[in-house]
Amino acid sequence: MTQLIEARDLALSLDGREVLRDVSLSIQPGEIVTIVGPNGSGKSSLLRALIGAIRPSRGTLTRKPGLKIGYVPQKLAIDPTLPITVERFLSLPRPVPREVARAALDRAGAEGLAGRQMTRLSGGQFQRVLLARALLVDPDILMLDEATQGLDQPGAAAFYRRIEDIRRTMGCAIVMVSHDLHVVMAASDRVLCVNGHICCEGAPELVASRPEYQALFGTGTQGALALYRHEHSHSHDHSHDHGHDHAHASQDDQTGPRP
Amino acid sequence: MLDDFLVRAALAGLGVALASAPLGVFVVWRRMSYFGEATAHAAVLGVALALGFSLPMMPAILVTALVMARTVSALSGRGHAMDTLLGVAAHTALAAGLVAVALLPEVRLDPMGYLFGDILAVTRTDLATIWAGAALVLALVCWRWQALLTATLSPDLAYASGLDPRREDLVLTLALAVVVAVAIKVVGVLLIGAMLVIPAAAARPLVRTPEAMAIGAGLVGALAAIGGLGGAFVLDTPAGPTIVCTSAVIFALTLALGQVLSRRPD
C-alpha cells in the first residue's frame, strides 16, 4: 500500500457512547493533514485511534506494515513524585545514544535542556521535548494532538513553522489535531473538519469556504489566515530570519512552568 | 548462621525491602497506594480460605491478592469513583477476612500475627519463600522496566510505541500480589502499604532519575528493616511497626535534606 494509514467506515466509542462515525480517510507519505473541530467533536479520539490507543467499534483501520509513529500528546501530566530528566525521558521506551538524543533536541528547538527535570520545564519547552522524543524513532508519520495548547499565537506560529521544517527535512507525513484554526490551516496540505463525523475536507482555502465549516467556526478565520501567510513570508524574506525565530522561541518560553 | 532467629529476621526484612522497592516506586508514581492497601487486606481473606479448606497458605494468599487486584482494576474502568471503590474494597476485604477466620470452628487463630507480622518467628522455609518472591518481583520489574515507565508516564505514548499499557498494568498487579504474599509474615497486611510507599517517598527528594529512586527505595527499605529490628530488640517493641516507624523517620530526614538541597540552583 502507498498510503501510511487507511481508515474505512470507522466508528469510535468511548464508555459506550459513540463519538465518531463513518470516518474514511487515508494519509499519504509526506503530507500535512490537520484535523479541526469544536470541543468534543471526536478529533482527539480520531488521532488516538490512529495511534492504536482506541480500538474502533466498527470499520477497519490499516497501517502500513512496520509504520513508525511519532506521537506528541496533548498533555502529559508527570506526577511530581516521578523524577526524570529530559535525557532519560527521551530513552523511553527504547534507549538512544546521547548524541542521537541531543540531535533530536536541537531539531525540535529544545537544545540545552537534556539535563533538566521534566517537571521543571515551561509549557513551550515541555512541548518541544515531546516533539524531540517523537522525532527519535525517525517517524514515517508524526502525530500531534493540540500541540500548541498554552502557547500564545506567535509561539504557536513558530511551532508550526518548525513542523513544516521537519516535514521538509525528514520527509514524514504529519497529522495534527487543533482548534488553533488561524495558524494551523495555512500550514496544512489538507484539512479534515470533524464534528462526530467528517463534515468536509480538502485544501485549507476550500474547507474555510464550505458552509459546513462556517457553520462551526464562522467566516472570521479567512482574515487570520491571510495574516499568517503575511507573517510567514515576512519571516522567510527577512534577512534576520534566525533572530526572528529565536524571538518566537523565547516568547513561548514565557508561558510559565507547568502545573 | 540461619539458626539465629535474629539473623533470619534480618534476612527476611531485607528480602521484603528488596521486593517492595521496585514496585513501591510505581505505587507512588501512579498514585496506587490505596490499591496496594486493598490488595494487602485481601490477603487476610486468603488466610481464612487456606485454613478453612486446608489449602497451602502461600498460594491461597497469592491468589486472593491477585483476584482482588484484578477485580478492583476491572471495576475502576467502569466509571466508579476509584477512591471510594478502593476504600470499600480494602476495608471489606479486611473485615470479611477477620470474620471468616473467627467463623472457622476448629481454628483458634490469633489474627494479630497476620495483621502486624511476626518477623521473629520466620522459619527457613519462610525465608526461602520471601527471597524467591523478591527475586521474582525484581526479575519481572527489571524485564518490563522501560515499558512500565513509558506506560506510567502516558498510556497513549505507550500505544504509539507499539506497547500495550494494559499488559504492563497486569505485570504490576502480579508483582503486587507477590509482594503481599511475601511481606505478610514480616510486617503484616496492615503495614505492607507502608513498606511500599514510605521507602519510595523517602528516596524521592534525593534523586533525579527513576532508576535512582528505585535503588534509593531499596536502600531506605533495607536500612529501615535492619534499624527497625535493632530498635525492636533494644526497646522491646513489636518488630513490624518498629520497622515502619524507622522508615518514617528516614522519610522525615530526607524530606528535610531535600528542602536544603533544593535551595541550590537546578
For A39-80, write each residue's pLDDT tens digit: 888 888 999 999 989 999 999 999 999 899 999 988 788 999
Testing the interface with B: which of A45, A92, A140 to mutate, by most B Cβ within 10 A? A92
Does A79 contact B29 at a Cβ distance shorter than 8 Å?
yes
The secondary structure of residue A152, as a DSSP letter, is: -
Count of C-beta atoms within a 10 Å radius of residue B61: 29
Q: What is the DSSP string of A66-133?
A: T--EEEE-S-----TT---BHHHHHTSSS---HHHHHHHHHHTT-TT-TTSBGGGSBHHHHHHHHHHH
The string of pLDDT tens digits covering residues B111-155 is 788 888 888 889 999 999 999 999 999 999 999 999 999 999 999
The residue that leads in pLDDT, A14 or A179, is A14
b/e A118-157 (16+ beta carbons within 10 angstroms → b)? bbebbbbbbbbbbbbbbbbbebbbbbbbbbbebbebebbb
Does A117 contact B266 at a Cβ distance shorter than 8 Å?
yes
pLDDT at B264: 62
Count of C-beta atoms within a 10 Å radius of residue B115: 20
Mean confidence (pLDDT) of chain B:
90
Tracing cell 528516596 back to the chain, one arrives at: B203
Flag whether pLDDT at A196 surpasses 80. Answer: yes
- Quote the percentage of chain B above a pLDDT of 90: 58
Contact A119, A86 (CB under 8 A): no
CA closest to A120 among chain B residues? B266
b/e A44-67 (16+ beta carbons within 10 angstroms → b)? bbbbbbbbbbbebbebebebbeee
The residue that leads in pLDDT, A215 or A115, is A115
C-alpha cell, B35: 490499591
Cβ contacts (< 8 Å) between A138 and chain B: which residues?
Answer: none
Does A94 contact B31 at a Cβ distance shorter than 8 Å?
no
pLDDT at A219: 65
Measure B231 CA to nearest chain A CA, in Å.
29
- Quote the percentage of chain B above a pLDDT of 70: 95
Q: Of A129, A127, A8, A133, give the one whose Cα is nearest residue A69.
A: A133
- Among candidates B147, B208, B210 on the partner chain, residue whose Cβ is nearest the Cβ of A93: B147
Flag whether pLDDT at A222 surpasses 80. Answer: no
Quote the ipTM score: 0.86
CA closest to A136 among chain B residues? B161
- CATH (residue range B4-189): 1.10.3470.10
3-class SS of residue A211: helix
A102 CB-near residues (< 8 Å, 6+ apart): A111, A114
Q: Quick one: pLDDT band at residue A234, thresholds 50, 70, 90?
A: very low
Q: Of B217, B254, B256, B224, give the one whose Cα is nearest residue B241.
A: B224
Q: What is the DSSP string of chain B?
A: -TTSHHHHHHHHHHHHHHHHHHHHHHHHHTT-HHHHHHHHHHHHHHHHHHHHTT--HHHHHHHHHHHHHHHHHHHHTTT--HHHHHHHHHHHHHHHHHHHHHH-SS----THHHHH--GGG--HHHHHHHHHHHHHHHHHHHHHHHHHHHHHH-HHHHHHTT--HHHHHHHHHHHHHHHHHHHTTTT-HHHHHHHHHHHHHHHGGG-SSHHHHHHHHHHHHHHHHHHHHHHHHHHT--HHHHHHHHHHHHHHHHHHHHHHHHTS--
| Biggest alpha carbon–alpha carbon distance for chain B | 65
Count CB pairs under 8 A between chains A and B.
76
Q: Quick one: pLDDT band at residue B17, thresholds 50, 70, 90?
A: very high
Q: Where are the domains of chain B?
A: 4-189
The alpha carbon of residue B68 and the mean position of all alpha carbons in its chain are separated, in whole angstroms, by 14
The residue that leads in pLDDT, A156 or A11, is A11
Residues 144-173 of B with CB under 8 A from A: 146-147, 149-150, 152-163
Q: Which region among B22-31, B85-94, B202-211 has the lowest average model confidence (pLDDT)? A: B85-94
C-alpha cell, A167: 516535514
Q: Which residues pair with A56 in a beta bridge?
A: none
Tracing cell 527513576 back to the chain, one arrives at: B210
pLDDT at A77: 87
Amino acid identity, position A220: G
Does B156 contact A78 at a Cβ distance shorter than 8 Å?
no
Cβ contacts (< 8 Å) between B152 and chain A: which residues?
Answer: 82
Q: Quick one: pLDDT band at residue A242, thresholds 50, 70, 90?
A: very low
Cβ contacts (< 8 Å) between A53 and chain B: which residues?
Answer: 155-156, 159-160
Q: Quick one: pLDDT band at residue B71, thresholds 50, 70, 90?
A: confident
Residues A14-21 have a mean pLDDT of 87
Q: Which region among A67-76, A202-211, B212-221 has the lowest average model confidence (pLDDT)? A: A202-211
- Among candidates A48, A79, A93 on the partner chain, residue whose Cβ is nearest the Cβ of B156: A48
Q: How many angstroms separate the CA atoms of A250 and B11, rounded?
A: 55
Residues B18-46 have a mean pLDDT of 91
Residues 41-80 of B with CB under 8 A from A: 79
Cβ contacts (< 8 Å) between B153 and chain A: which residues?
Answer: 76, 78, 82, 84, 89, 92
Does A83 contact B213 at a Cβ distance shorter than 8 Å?
yes
pTM: 0.85
Tracing cell 525565530 back to the chain, one arrives at: A245
